[in-house]
Structure 1
Amino acid sequence: MLTGLQRAAFPLAIAQTLTWASLYYSFPALLPTWQGALGWSKSELSGAFTLALVLSSVAAPLAGTLIDRGYGRVVLAGGMILGALLLMALPAIREVWQFYLLWAGIGLAMSACLYEACFTVITRIIGGQAREAITVVTLLGGFAGTLAFPAAHLMAEAYDWQTAVRLFAGVVLFISVPFVIYGVTCLGPFAETSAASKSGTSGRIMAQPTFWMLGMAFCAIGLAHGAILTHLLFILQENGLPAWLAVLVVSMIGPMQVVGRVFMMLTAGRVSTFGVAVACYSLMIVATAALLATRLNIWMAFVFVALHGAGYGVASIVRPVMTAELLGRQSFGTVFGMLAIPFMMGFAIGPTAAALTSELAGYETVIVGAGVILACGLVAVFAARRMAPVSIKNHAIQGAG
Structure 2
Amino acid sequence: MICLAMGQILVWAGLFYVFPAMLVRWEEALGWSKAELTGAFTLAIFVSALSSPLAGRLIDAGRGGLMMAGSSLLGGFCLVGLSMVRELWQFYVVWALIGVLLAGCLYEPCFALVTRARGAAARRGIIAITLVAGFASTISFPAIHVLADGLGWRMAIQIFAAVVILVATPFMWYGASKVEKAGAEDQDHSGDHKVARHAFIGRPHFWLLAVGFGLGAIVHGVSLHHLLPILHDRGFTADIAVLAASFIGPMQVAGRLAMMAAERHVSNHGVAIACFMFMGLAVMLLAASGAAPVLLAGFVVFYGAAYGTVSILRPLIARDILGGANFGAKTGALALIYLVGSASAPYLGSLVWSVGGYDLVLPCLIVLAFAGLILYVAAHRLPRQA
Check whether TM > 0.5. Answer: yes
CA contact (8 A) 2:56 2:109 kept: yes
The alignment partner of 2:266 has SS state of coil
Q: Which residue in the other structure is 2:183 paired with?
A: 189
Equivalents in 1 of 2:262, 2:374: separation in Å? 24
| Cα deviation, residue 381, structure 1 | 2.1
Whether 1:289 and 2:284 are equivalent positions in the alignment is: yes
Q: Which residue in the other structure is 2:266 paired with?
A: 271
Among 363, 366, 384, the residue aligned to 1:368:
363
Whether 1:52 and 2:44 are equivalent positions in the alignment is: yes
Query: Per-residue CA shift, 1:53-83, capped at 9, x if unaligned?
Result: 1111222233224323433223322322332
Query: Per-residue CA shift, 1:165-197, capped at 9, x if unaligned?
Result: 333233223322332233235443145564732
Among 119, 122, 125, the residue aligned to 1:127:
119
Matches within 5 A, 1:25-64: 25-35=17-27, 38=30, 40-64=32-56
Give the TM-score normalised by structure 2. Answer: 0.86
| Cα deviation, residue 216, structure 1 | 1.0
Among 13, 17, 35, the residue aligned to 2:9:
17
CA contact (8 A) 2:145 2:242 kept: no
Query: Per-residue CA shift, 1:206-235, capped at 9, x if unaligned?
Result: 223222122112211111112233333444
The alignment partner of 1:271 has SS state of coil
Give the TM-score normalised by structure 1. Answer: 0.83
CA contact (8 A) 2:275 2:310 kept: yes
Which residues of structure 1 form unaligned runs of 5+? 1-8, 392-401
Whether 1:117 and 2:109 are equivalent positions in the alignment is: yes
Which residues of structure 2 form unaligned runs of 5+? none
Equivalents in 2 of 1:210, 1:116: separation in Å? 22
Residue type of the partner of 1:103?
A: W
Equivalents in 2 of 1:294, 1:151: separation in Å? 25
CA contact (8 A) 1:222 1:350 kept: yes
| Cα deviation, residue 154, structure 1 | 4.0
CA contact (8 A) 1:65 1:333 kept: no
| Cα deviation, residue 148, structure 1 | 1.9
Q: Which residue in the other structure is 1:228 paired with?
A: 223
CA contact (8 A) 1:120 1:332 kept: no
Residue type of the partner of 1:126?
A: R
Matches within 5 A, 1:173-184: 173-184=165-176
Residue type of the partner of 1:189?
A: G
Equivalents in 2 of 1:17, 1:56: separation in Å? 18
Q: Which residue in the other structure is 1:151 paired with?
A: 143
| Cα deviation, residue 388, structure 1 | 5.8
| Cα deviation, residue 90, structure 1 | 3.4
Pick closer, same or farther for the CA change 1:28–1:291 going to 2, 3 Å. closer
The alignment partner of 2:293 has SS state of coil
Q: Which residue in the other structure is 1:395 paired with?
A: none
Runs of 4+ in 1 over 6 A off after TM superposition: none
Whether 1:218 and 2:223 are equivalent positions in the alignment is: no
The alignment partner of 2:292 has SS state of coil
CA contact (8 A) 2:138 2:249 kept: yes
Equivalents in 1 of 2:331, 2:280: separation in Å? 25
Among 56, 65, 79, the residue aligned to 2:71:
79
Equivalents in 1 of 2:75, 2:197: separation in Å? 28
Among 144, 156, 161, the residue aligned to 1:164:
156
Equivalents in 2 of 1:39, 1:240: separation in Å? 22
Residue type of the partner of 1:308?
A: Y
CA contact (8 A) 2:116 2:183 kept: no
Pick closer, same or farther for the CA change 1:31–1:289 going to 2, 3 Å. closer
Whether 1:98 and 2:90 are equivalent positions in the alignment is: yes
Query: Per-residue CA shift, 1:223-261, capped at 9, x if unaligned?
Result: 111223333344445556566544443333222212112
Q: Which residue in the other structure is 1:316 paired with?
A: 311
CA contact (8 A) 1:70 1:192 kept: no
Pick closer, same or farther for the CA change 1:322–1:149 going to 2, 3 Å. same
CA contact (8 A) 2:19 2:225 kept: no
Equivalents in 1 of 2:169, 2:290: separation in Å? 46
| Cα deviation, residue 100, structure 1 | 1.6
| Cα deviation, residue 309, structure 1 | 1.5
| Cα deviation, residue 127, structure 1 | 2.5
Whether 1:306 and 2:301 are equivalent positions in the alignment is: yes
Among 62, 81, 103, the residue aligned to 1:70:
62
| Cα deviation, residue 263, structure 1 | 1.3
Equivalents in 2 of 1:311, 1:246: separation in Å? 20
CA contact (8 A) 1:63 1:333 kept: no
Equivalents in 2 of 1:274, 1:386: separation in Å? 11
Q: Which residue in the other structure is 1:260 paired with?
A: 255
CA contact (8 A) 1:86 1:106 kept: yes
Equivalents in 2 of 1:350, 1:88: separation in Å? 26
Residue type of the partner of 1:279?
A: A
Equivalents in 1 of 2:329, 2:62: separation in Å? 12
Residue type of the partner of 1:15?
A: G
Whether 1:199 and 2:194 are equivalent positions in the alignment is: yes
CA RMSD for the aligned pairs?
Answer: 2.9
The alignment partner of 1:197 has SS state of coil
The alignment partner of 1:44 has SS state of helix
Give the paired residue count.
383
CA contact (8 A) 1:292 1:367 kept: yes
| Cα deviation, residue 95, structure 1 | 3.8
Residue type of the partner of 1:45?
A: L
CA contact (8 A) 2:51 2:100 kept: yes
Residue type of the partner of 1:278?
A: I
Whether 1:351 and 2:346 are equivalent positions in the alignment is: yes
Equivalents in 2 of 1:136, 1:362: separation in Å? 39
CA contact (8 A) 2:71 2:101 kept: yes
CA contact (8 A) 2:47 2:96 kept: yes
